[in-house]
Structure 1
């Protein structure tokens, strides 16, 4: 059943009123200011309701019980821009299901039961910019599944069951800026899979089973700014593999199996580097020396036992350094000599028993965390004029000197 309501529209340059009729599916609610929006979410629908008007711009069918998208299910909706189908039970997308959606810009198919993406399944969606397929059960994607999506800006296929991908699956997505494949079961990737994505800005491959990646896999990604490889099983990074990423500024490789990070030294535009949760143990002199633009470095939970006097040489832009939850027993007196812009230093949960007297001299530190160590004497901080927060709890402190600037500090417990 379809409900219709009359609305009075005043036409410009015409003195008489024109009455337009907006019809709405019986189980849905509709608004027509300024575009027609049809809301059918949370209605326990098992099929797309009849009577959705041709001038509809947004159709929300989320949180229903739809299992199948039939051929030409939306054929009359040529003005539709936003289609929400998330949180249904869709397992079958029939050929031609999206035929007629020539204006569609956003398609939400996340949180369904889709298993396969056949060829040309989205081929009629030539204006589509955002496609959300996360949280399905997708295990097979045809090499031509994304044919026709030349205007696609963002593609999300995270939280699926994907183990492998065809080499050409993304080759026609020339305008893609963001690609998210987090939390699948991918163990390897074809070397040419990203070669046409020259506009790609962010790539998320985290939460998979990758152990390494082939030389040349990132060739052509000249605009890539964010690369997420966390929570894989990567034990080594081929030095040449990352040299083809001139614009990379943020690299997330936490929770992998890395023991050596020398392959990262050529990423001279990096601003954020997350290496926490690996087992690096030893940080050699100058291991980061070419990363002169690096601002945040995460090295917590890295089994680090040894650092050298010039480990952080060259990090002149570094603001935040996370060295907490390691196994450090001593620190060289000159360790922080090159990080003259450092504002936050985290050394909590180590095995430190003492600190060189001048190790922090000249640093513009605002936050300093040293709790959960074995320090017997507090650090010398009289020269740290910017220091606001100091954490010293759970140490073996014997005495705090009377010259210690307690009045201007906020202490952590």
Structure 2
């Protein structure tokens, strides 16, 4: 009886080993498409399962994996998409993703990551989309993104980043979308963006930048969408957007406590379609701001002085189907009037004609 029991136990042990091997669906996950999709979402696993070489997508969301160890995914040579959201991850070890040379999508959002060891992203030469938002990352090791030559979107919003240092984005030369909203940035080193001059979308909103980062921004060439909302900046300087002005279509600068634009702030900006500057302390707009391409503008809750300097804005309102909310704060006789309806601008066109005529003589 004893020998039979021992043989039985050995048999069941071998079955269990086979069941957890790379040729079958790992327990307690479920799989689809001949093991191409392995779904281990919220199944209570505490270590990385072994999966088939056929596996293209591994979903491990909502488990408990506090540390991603070195080489933990090394056997998954064919993996293209890896989902690790809500896994209580605190640390990513060096070479954590070693071997994943075909990986394109890596989702690490909504964890507790505060440590990313140097070399963490080694081997991820095909990675295109990297999501690290909603974590606790305080800084980024120099060259951490160097292996990511094909990175297109980098999501780093809602972390604890305090500064961007030189070499942070070294190697990520094809990066096009960079999301840094909701961090604690107080400064951006002048050369921090040197390696990512082809950014098309840059979100810096909800940070602590008290002055416009002129030098690093001047390295950018093709920004189409820029968000600076909810940074405590008071002044936007001359030529702020000039290096990418012929590409910039969307600009968000609401809720900043912004007091003024320097008169040449919009020099070189020729493609602007959408401008959001509500909830500031602005009284005027600079002469460099052209409304020729503008399709949408938000202006409410500012201290607008309704005089001829705002006449180009009023003319744009008269020609637009939109009716943006914006009221005069001064002069006193126009206070509370909607700019689009105010009589403050009735003489501006005539004055403009007289000024031009005087200039010709």
TM-score range, shorter chain: 0.7 to 0.9
Match of 2:308 in 1: 309
CA distance in 1, matches of 2:276, 2:338: 27
CA distance in 1, matches of 2:176, 2:333: 43
Unaligned runs of 5+ residues in structure 1 are 6-20, 333-349, 361-413
**Closer, same or farther: CA 325–66 of 1 in aligned 2, 3 Å:** farther
Match of 2:299 in 1: 299
Q: Kindly provide the CA deviation profile for residues 113-132 of structure 1, in whole angstroms up to 9, marking residues without a partner as x.
A: 11022322102100000000
Structure ranking higher in strand proportion: 1
Task: Compute the TM-score of the two structures, normalised by the length of structure 2.
Answer: 0.81
Match of 1:351 among 336, 340, 344: 336
**Do 2:303 and 2:329's aligned partners in 1 also have CA atoms closer than 8 Å?**
yes
Which structure's relative contact order is higher, taking Cα pairs within 8 Å and 6+ residues apart? Answer: 2
Matched, 1:258 2:243: no
Q: Kindly provide the CA deviation profile for residues 282-329 of structure 1, in whole angstroms up to 9, marking residues without a partner as x.
A: 226x6465342111111111133x212351427657553523466468
CA distance in 2, matches of 1:185, 1:119: 22
Matched, 1:86 2:85: yes
Where 1:126 maps in the other structure, the secondary structure is coil
Match of 1:217 in 2: 216
Where 1:244 maps in the other structure, the secondary structure is helix
**Closer, same or farther: CA 199–126 of 1 in aligned 2, 3 Å:** same
Q: Kindly provide the CA deviation profile for residues 133-186 of structure 1, in whole angstroms up to 9, marking residues without a partner as x.
A: 001110021012112001000001110111112211113111111000000000
Match of 1:77 in 2: 76
**Do 2:93 and 2:117's aligned partners in 1 also have CA atoms closer than 8 Å?**
no
**Closer, same or farther: CA 330–353 of 1 in aligned 2, 3 Å:** farther
Structure ranking higher in helix proportion: 2
Match of 1:60 in 2: 59
CA distance in 2, matches of 1:356, 1:122: 58
Match of 2:99 in 1: 100
Kindly state the Cα deviation for residue 220 of structure 1 after the two structures are TM-superposed: 3.5
CA distance in 2, matches of 1:356, 1:322: 13
Kindly state the Cα deviation for residue 351 of structure 1 after the two structures are TM-superposed: 2.3
CA distance in 2, matches of 1:303, 1:91: 46
Q: Kindly provide the CA deviation profile for residues 353-407 of structure 1, in whole angstroms up to 9, marking residues without a partner as x.
A: 99568989xxxxxxxxxxxxxxxxxxxxxxxxxxxxxxxxxxxxxxxxxxxxxxx
Give the paired residue count.
323
CA distance in 1, matches of 2:277, 2:289: 16
CA distance in 2, matches of 1:227, 1:287: 21
Alignment RMSD:
2.8
Kindly state the Cα deviation for residue 195 of structure 1 after the two structures are TM-superposed: 2.0
Higher mean alpha-carbon deviation, 22-31 vs 315-324, is at: 315-324
